[in-house]
């Protein structure tokens, strides 16, 4: 698997480009900003983009998805239930946010792929499994490549931290459940590529993440 990380925007979001090494079929994960810069890198790598993958509907992860979908003529992939967040008036409180979310809504309407938990997406010889992990948002997802031992988990689990839950439609209880029942069920050697900060592994976070080693009572919501 080919893998490139591009840190974009004021919030330093990790945008990932992944591709099959043979077919050069590619996906762009969480293009939250700097879409033209991302496109230049894709072209330099000689890739054919098949999907724009969005882990969740926060602006720093999806703002330039419509631009890249238009450039490559490929669908924006987002969980079906996350569109409820995108459609909600609460996220459109400012003229800028209203424009960003309305542009995203239109792009998904025109060329979107609304996915469900445990759906599989083929990418050349790669297989991406959609894992719904609510908590940071209503229907955040991870994209897991089992054979490659790699998961792209958005803002769910970070190096020595976990995602915030104080946003609209966030839930501490759901986040804990998602981490326990989805991510911590993966093998220790699985590499975790989060939405911000350095990569890590499931094993490292299982053993060293302070938020995963709280007393049992503090995990009960």
Which CATH number does the domain housing residue 181 bear?
A: 3.60.15.10
Return the ∠ at Cα 169 (arms to 164 and 173), rounded to 5°: 60
Q: What is the structure's pLDDT at 159? A: 96
Confidence tier at 89 by pLDDT (50, 70, 90)? confident
Q: Residue 202's closest CA among 153, 139, 163? A: 153
Report whether pLDDT(44) > 80. yes
pLDDT (tens digit per residue) in 122-150: 999 999 999 999 988 889 999 999 999 99
Q: What mean pLDDT do residues 184-190 have?
A: 97
Q: Residue 72's closest CA among 100, 43, 101? A: 43
Neighbour order of strands in the sheet with 13-19 = 2-8, 13-19, 25-29, 48-53, 76-79, 112-115
Q: What mean pLDDT do residues 32-50 have?
A: 98
Q: What is the structure's pLDDT at 73? A: 98
Confidence tier at 215 by pLDDT (50, 70, 90)? very low
Report whether pLDDT(80) > 60. yes
**pTM of model > 0.85:** yes
Q: Residue 182's closest CA among 142, 127, 128? A: 142
Q: What's the CA gap between 78 and 87, in Å, rounded?
A: 13
Report whether pLDDT(221) > 60. no
Task: Please indicate whether residue 168 or residue 102 has the higher confidence score (pLDDT).
Answer: 102
Q: What is the structure's pLDDT at 128? A: 99
Report whether pLDDT(78) > 50. yes
Total domain count for the chain? 1
Q: What mean pLDDT do residues 12-21 have?
A: 98
Residue-number span of the structural domain to which 189 is assigned: 2-219
pLDDT (tens digit per residue) in 147-164: 999 999 999 999 999 988
Give the phi and the psi of residue 130 in degrees, each rounded to 5.
-80, 125
Q: What percent of the chain has pLDDT over 90?
A: 81
Report whether pLDDT(216) > 50. no
Q: What is the structure's pLDDT at 165? A: 81
Report whether pLDDT(43) > 90. yes
Q: What is the structure's pLDDT at 214? A: 58
Report whether pLDDT(11) > 80. yes
């Amino acid at each position: 698997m080919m893998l490139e990380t591009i840190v974009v925007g004021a919030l330093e979001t990790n945008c990932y480009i992944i591709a099959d090494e043979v077919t050069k079929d590619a996906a762009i994960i969480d293009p939250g900003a700097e879409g033209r810069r991302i496109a230049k890198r894709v072209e330099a790598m000689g890739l054919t983009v098949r999907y724009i993958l969005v882990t969740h509907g926060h602006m720093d992860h999806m703002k330039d998805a419509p631009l890249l979908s238009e450039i490559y003529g490929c669908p924006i992939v987002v969980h079906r239930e996350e569109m409820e967040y995108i459609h909600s008036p609460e996220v459109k409180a400012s003229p800028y946010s209203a424009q960003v979310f309305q542009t995203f809504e239109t792009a998904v309407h025109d060329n979107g792929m609304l996915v469900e938990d445990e759906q599989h997406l083929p990418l050349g010889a790669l297989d991406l499994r959609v894992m719904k992990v609510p908590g940071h948002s209503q229907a955040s997802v991870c994209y897991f490549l089992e054979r490659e031992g790699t998961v792209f988990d958005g803002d769910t689990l970070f190096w020595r931290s976990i995602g915030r839950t104080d946003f609209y439609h966030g839930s501490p209880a759901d986040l804990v459940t998602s981490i326990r029942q989805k991510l911590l069920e993966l093998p220790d050697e699985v590499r975790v590529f989060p939405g911000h900060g350095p990569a890590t592994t499931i094993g490292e976070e299982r053993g060293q993440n302070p938020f995963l080693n709280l007393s049992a009572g503090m995990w009960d919501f």
